[in-house]
Amino acid sequence: MDAIRTDRRSDLLDCLNQSDRELLESRLQDVHLASGDLIFEVGSAVDYCYFPIGSSLCAFFVEMEEGMAVETILVGREGALGGVVSSGHLPAYSRASVVHGGLFRRISQRELAALKQSSPGINSLFCRYADCVMAQVFQSIACNAVHTIEQRAAKWLTATVDRIGRPEVMMTQEQLASIMGIGRSYASRVLQRFKRDGLLRTRRGGLEVLDAHALGERACSCNQQVQGHFDKVLGGLYP
C-alpha cells in the first residue's frame, strides 16, 4: 500500500460550516485504499460517495471499444466521487480507480441523499462541486482534442504532484500511457525528453519530478482554466 500521510484534510468538506460538517462527518467511515484499487466499475451500483483525504488521488476512466481506458479527470482532496448530484443506487457510467493510495472517507448514498434533503448547505456544496466537475470534463475533452502529448503529459504530472504534495509519482510508463489514452512508445518518448531536459527521472515503478516549475511551463493552461472556475464557484478549492 502507498505511504499514507497524516494529513486528514478534505478541502471540499472544509467548505461546510461547522454544524453541517459535523452532521456529515458523523456518518463518514474511514477506508484505506491502494493504487490501482477500484472504487466502482462501469455499470456497477454506486453505493457510496468517497472523499479523498490528504494526498489520496483518484481518476475517472472511460472505457473505449478498442479496450483502451482513457482518463477524463483527476479527483483529489478538493473533491468527491460517486453520488455528487444523483440519489439512489444508480449505475456508474465510467470506471473510477485509485491513482495514489491513502485515506478516504465515505458515506452511503442513502445517508447522503437524506442529508442533502435536510441541509441546504450540504446540498448547495454538492451542486456547486458538480458544476466544477463538469468544467473539468469539458476542459479535458478540449485538451485531448487540441493539445500535444507533451503538453498533456506535463499537465497530468504537474496536477498529480500538486495534489499529492510530493514529487514522487508511483506510476510506470505503461500506466501513464493508459491514463492518457496513447501508445506506450509515445509516452516513453515524452518522458525521455523530460529526463533529457532535467525535469524528471524515472525509477522502478514510478517517476520523480525534479523541476515542477519547468515542467509546468511545458504544460497547457487547462489546469489553470479549471482552477479559475473552481475559484469562482468554490472559493479557491482547486490545488
Query: pLDDT digit string (tens) for 133-152?
Result: 999 999 988 998 899 999 99
- CATH class name, domain 11-119: mainly beta
Q: Please report how the helices 120-146 and 18-25 are oriented relative to each other, as an axis angle in degrees rounded to 10.
A: 80
Strand ordering across the sheet containing 38-40: 38-40, 95-100, 57-63, 69-75
Residues 38-52: what's their mean pLDDT? 90
Domains 11-119 and 148-219 fall in the same CATH topology: no
Residues 89-100: what's their mean pLDDT? 84
Q: Are 32 and 102 in contact (CB under 8 A)?
A: yes
Q: What is the pLDDT of residue 193?
A: 94
Query: pLDDT digit string (tens) for 186-215?
Result: 889 999 999 999 999 988 878 899 999 999
Calpha distance 163→159 (Å, rounded):
6
CATH of domain 148-219: 1.10.10.10
The domains of the chain are located at 11-119, 148-219
Cβ neighbours around 152 below 10 Å, total: 23
